[in-house]
A and B are shown apart, each in its own frame.
Chain A
């Protein structure tokens, strides 16, 4: 039976939307994966020498073991928020003659093949090799490695049970919280003894039995819990439905005929995972300015990088959210296209939303004025340039959007809806203003360069209605392509 389910899995992988994505995204993802792997291998090789230098009095392995305590805690935290149990297809399997137990064993085992469990190996393996080279006992190192791998799997299963069962969540949470607060308030040093325990896994190879029995324990706990709750309306397979509070946003009515759409867009952002995360990211990115504006090298030197920062900060929502207009509405695009609204009204509502976001982000970046008039000026000009020049550019590129977006998927590492336009966007929106500014700044002066960007933004704003009418016509022509594209899941 297992092999049959595996075959299904194979098909679902190779026929999935992810796998049939564009070549550019595949290459990008492959590079990103290679980068991560290289990073961890580098860390694995370097850790021993780094630690030996930093804490020369202690056995480097012992120091690493103490760091592992914090690593495992962070790992569990990250898993709790990001790792979900794979439940795909299990609905179809529930009604056909496969034993429930088989399905659950399968689901639990499948969860082991996860990036969370595999990526640590790229650290642990090279690190163990270094240990061997440095003359640590072979058998002891191998058993220590085994213990670490098993403990990562233990984390894997702890995560599922605390995600699904409140009882286990509170028990494990209170144990960990006690430990963290003891450490944090300096009542008792928890890290050292726990780290020493990990170290003893190296000293006493047979103590690998302890992590192994932990693994068995948590596997069985998960298995029993799942077996009891393996019903459609139970916690394992379904998500809990929350009561909805409706809100009216009456203050938006001042925007006239686009008000219904603005209200809808705010609900879209608030109630769906992916747009919500996009907005949160835009706000977090406000702090990105600290990297540039506090660094004298950037502030004193040529200001091109500051232009980049200003456009980036004030236009984060414009780029993050704007790039997928109108794909955000893909699930109900047919409704919007056949309801009593014109394309102009619809797009205008998006344009106003983007304008509002630029205004808001520019206001929120006011504290940066503390770092000097130059930075303040550039942020204002960045806002004006985004509003006048980048909005039409972005909306034009958006006419190439024809890929559906599922609102309820996470925004992290999510390339659904990505197309050629998203890759091209960076050139006109960031590089062109940087280039213009850099050139004028180099040939003439800083103030003229700022003036040029400002004028470009203002010209865009002055002619916005004319440009906008042209854009509406382009959208009208692309409507049919979008209707078909947005239906494709």
Chain B
């Protein structure tokens, strides 16, 4: 589904990302982990063509992302609050995204209502602008909006951060449901090792822009990851 070749990003002679070959199969759910500055977000925004790679290309479903816009039809994402329109209410925002993704109001309502437990009655029908919601509630809106319009690739940067425990558990269910039939490819980054191993088939560990581990998830993965990160702590 997603192939990146020889991709690198260099800012003022500092290499923030350097990955030779990286391939993600359709329907896989990938978890990116790594400390701050490891290059997780950089990889995501390269994939979204928001920055230009210094070298290499990323191909999403056969489309070179920097050459054509057509990957946008099947790719959706929530990276940070710059993906929210602050002066809209949650409903207006969902409908706006729906219109962009060819969904009518009824379609959007059906989808959004599936997540009413996700919202704890704090978001829908509140007549509040998104900019006046709390950080956690903003995040919920962004994540749900990324699921509108049956995307085939979903990219979520740090989706578990700032969420309350109930919603974290619900989000894990949602991600598992998405990848159940191998229809949707999900890319998630997280600092929470246990959440990310719960939802991912494959865990990729980044350190200073390089892939240092690439694991198929199994029962031992969490321990291995914990070992790895406590070791890198002792090295410092």
Contact = CB atoms under 8 A, between A and B. Distances in A.
Q: Do A and B bind each other?
A: yes
Contacts of B83: 332, 334-335, 338
B127 A332 contact: no
Contact of A260 (B77, B96, B128, B129): B96
Given A332-B83, A335-B84, A338-B49, A244 B72 contact: no
Interface in B83-106: 83-89, 91-92, 96-97, 99-102
Secondary structure of the A contact surface, majority rule: helix
Most buried by B among A244, A268, A335, A487: A335
A340 B48 contact: no
A244 B51 contact: no
A339 interface: yes
B61 to A, nearest CB: 14
Nearest to B145: A335
Contacts of A487: 82
A271 B87 contact: yes
A271 B93 CA distance: 14
A50 to B, nearest CB: 48
B79 interface: yes
B91 A246 contact: yes
A241 B79 CA distance: 27
Nearest to B155: A338
Interface in A302-333: 331-333
Contacts of B77: 338
Interface string B42-62: 000100111110000000000
Contacts of A268: 87
A340 B127 CA distance: 27
Interface in A224-258: 241, 243-246
B73 interface: yes
Interface in A254-282: 259-260, 263-264, 267-268, 271-272
Interface residues of B, number: 35
B87 A272 contact: yes
Contacts of A334: 45, 48, 50, 79-80, 82-83
A459 B128 CA distance: 46
Contacts of A484: 51
Contacts of A264: 85, 88, 96
B92 A267 contact: yes
B87 A340 contact: no
B23 interface: no
A130 to B, nearest CB: 52
A34 interface: no
A264 B96 CA distance: 8
B149 interface: yes
A332 B84 CA distance: 6
Nearest to B101: A340
B50 A244 contact: no
Contact of A271 (B84, B97, B127, B129): B129
B82 A332 contact: yes
B89 to A, nearest CB: 5
A161 interface: no
A210 interface: no
Interface in B120-162: 127-129, 132, 149
A425 to B, nearest CB: 26
Contacts of A204: none
Nearest to B82: A334
A264 B92 CA distance: 9
B69 interface: yes
Nearest to B131: A408
B97 A339 contact: yes
A407 B87 contact: yes
Nearest to A245: B127
Contacts of A340: 72-73, 100-102, 149
Given A337-B49, A339-B72, 10 more contacts: A244-B128, A264-B88, A271-B87, A332-B86, A335-B82, A337-B48, A339-B101, A340-B72, A480-B50, A480-B51
Interface of B: 45, 48-52, 69, 72-73, 75-77, 79-80, 82-89, 91-92, 96-97, 99-102, 127-129, 132, 149
Q: Which 3 A-B pairs have the closest CB atoms?
A: A260-B99, A335-B83, A338-B48
Interface of A: 241, 243-246, 259-260, 263-264, 267-268, 271-272, 331-335, 337-343, 407, 480, 483-484, 487
